[in-house]
Amino acid sequence: MVDEQTSPAQPEQTEPQPQPRRRRRQRRIHRQRGAGDMMSLADRAKDLGLTTASLRRYVNLGLVTGSTEKRGNRIYVSADTVVTSPRVRVKMPEVAMAPAAAPALAAVAGRSATIARQTRETNVTVAVNLDGQGQCQAQTGDGMLNHLLAQLSRHGMIDVMVDAVDDGLPDNHHLVEDVGIALGRALRQAIGDGAGIRRMGSAIVPLDEALALVAVDVGGRGYAVVDAKLEGARVGSLSGELIAHFLERMAIEGGINLHVQVLRGNDPHHKAEAVFKALARSLRAAVELDPRADGAVPSTKGTIG
């Protein structure tokens, strides 16, 4: 009987398994990094000690060195990318109070406030000091908004610090709205019970051909009537409607009755700046301490809360 010869066992043939899509994508990115030395925005932000949102903002503003590339909804940057104009958080300077000879000042010492507001759209910090020297540190990423905030601070003699980052919408709507909200809340908190203040103020301010009238009452009843005659106009990077919206949100959140009227003017920039200067002078008059009030709350109700 002939023995059957057995052949050595052959390795079982298996079909190559497809790689998971995510792994293939990671390897593709890895190869791309090697070729162009590119990396994800999140990875580079971590290396630089920044949030991804902050680095994205710098990239969108062109405030970085190195190569950047957008692929779909994602941004990739070279490994040598650095920020050329980093944002600096500024601590508000301490203000020395007047001698105790003025009882009204002593009653309302420390009229300052800091408000932090963070949403999925913006990250905003605002600090105000009603007894300041008109110092402004505004870093919003929008030059025109920074400029208008500087007018409000300087001519209102209110120290203002604003640090804001937004989601980069082209029209800056979320940025402007949330800065207005935070600023209004900071003013409300700094005013407090309003002991000893004048409460109301108004001003008419010219700027070349423009003339703006603003009146305010910081008595806790938030309301806004804004006729800035900026509809359909552009003021630098901002729309005229957005500037009006900022004023409305600031007034409502700040418990401020605000009336704005541009009496005349042609240049949108002149009209907007005249409005903010008039607002500054009005707020300065309203929150100033009245030496005759002797620390009393300026309301027959006994409260402006």
Q: What percent of the chain has pLDDT over 70?
A: 77
111-287 domain in CATH 2.40.50.140? no
Please state the rounded mean pLDDT for residues 195-220. Answer: 97
Return the minimum-mean-pLDDT range out of 17-21, 63-67, 157-161, 221-225: 17-21
Q: Say how many residues make up the chain.
A: 305
Tell which wins on pLDDT, 5 or 226: 226
pLDDT given at position 39: 86
Taking alpha carbons only, the member of 226, 224, 225, 228 closest to residue 265 is 228
pLDDT at 218 over 90: yes
Tell which wins on pLDDT, 219 or 99: 219
| Domain boundary assignment for the chain | 23-78, 111-287
pLDDT given at position 10: 56
pLDDT at 216 over 50: yes
Asked if 180 and 250 count as a contact pair (C-beta separation under 8 A), the reply is yes
Tell me the C-alpha to C-alpha distance, in Å, between residue 150 and each of 38, 79, 120, 140, 197: 39, 37, 27, 12, 23
Tell me the C-alpha to C-alpha distance, in Å, between residue 195 and each of 102, 109, 139, 215, 282: 13, 10, 32, 20, 18
Strand ranges inside the chain, DSSP E: 38-40, 68-71, 74-78, 112-118, 122-129, 136-139, 159-166, 200-207, 210-217, 223-227, 234-235, 238-239, 257-264
Please state the rounded mean pLDDT for residues 142-162. Answer: 97
